[in-house]
Structure 1
Amino acid sequence: MQKFFVTTVIGGIFVLLPFGLLVWIVKIFFKAISNLISPLTQIFKFPPTIHLWVVDLVAFGLVIGLFFFIGLFVRTTFGHRLFNFVEENWLRKLPIYGTLRDAISTFTTRDKTPFRQVVLVDVFSNPTRMTGFVTDELESSGYVTVFVPTGPNPTNGFIFHVKKDQLEYLDIKPEDAMRTIIGVGVGSDILFEPGAKKDSEPKAKELIQN
């Protein structure tokens, strides 16, 4: 019980840590801009209370504008190449950067996440099945990479490289499958309902790119 509690708490920390870091970065920008514009807003002779509101409002708008123009710049050919160069040579060397980037991508590029395809995995060559998500397809070797989350904490799990004939592709939403994992199996009947199994096997790379 103690081990379960500790691992669950640690899992929650790792989920929230990237977002906490993002809030911290935004707070730094906000405070720096507030300090810069505060003397400028004093020329309007606002009452002290209103002055603070004006500073916060202007600072918030400038922070959003700054992030917008940075995002706009990265969308250009030069900006994209520059960002890739900086990311490959410096940012990826930061321990937390990869976690932060993946966490943000999960919510901002939902249609491109590799966890779109739900499968039942035959790992032990017997009737036992595990609920998993296709993450990659190794075409040269004929293997498919599957992530099998553990319940009730799906941030942990196992990675299996299996042959296609060890998979049953399911036509259900990833979030529905994830609920059965978080619920330690409750509601798993959706995995075995008539029509849940797909007639064809989609390629993992096509799922990620679409």
Structure 2
Amino acid sequence: MLIQHPSATQQELAALVGVSQPRISQALAALADKDLVQRTPSGWAARDIDAAIRWWLATYPGPGGITIYWYALAPAVEQARTVVSLIKATDPVGVAVSGDVAADIIAPWRAPTRAILYAHTGLNLVDAGFIPAGEEEATLELTVPRDPGLWPLPGTASGGLSLADPLQVLWDVWRSPGPDSEEAAQRVWAVLRRERD
């Protein structure tokens, strides 16, 4: 959160993350011990944005939860929009877009090949033209995650899609299949750095 909200106070961080202020205090103390954050006159800030992102990528265990892999012939962006509209029909705030599709909105560079969506509940996509697939051939991942931190903040929709937290998008792109996934991730990383400056 400090990457997107530099100089946030403990109270602001607690409200953004949805945990208690004492838990935020514990987390900030642990990060300060690693020399990743510092207290400023107006709140807390990351000391070095690149070091903070590297640490997060190295320590983040992933979203957890249950993932179902799907395949369809439509372009990944169209697949994402189809599934988002299906989910929003019953849960207007229950879906976040990540991976290639979100990266293409944040830092356009390559054509998305796989849509990654996070939802509060699962959904059978067979009637929408998808077929179950293995992880390697999937064109869409639908995950009901355990991690509450990946959800977008209210009012952060882009292009009609609610994007996952930018660090989650970076993590998903970093691990995505394809020879250019690292370069795509670097472009998202550069946007995070620019937004911080």
TM-score range, shorter chain: under 0.3
| TM-score (structure 2 length as normaliser) | 0.27
Q: Which has the higher contact order (CA 8 A, sep 6+)?
A: 2
Q: Rg bigger for which structure?
A: 1
| TM-score (structure 1 length as normaliser) | 0.26
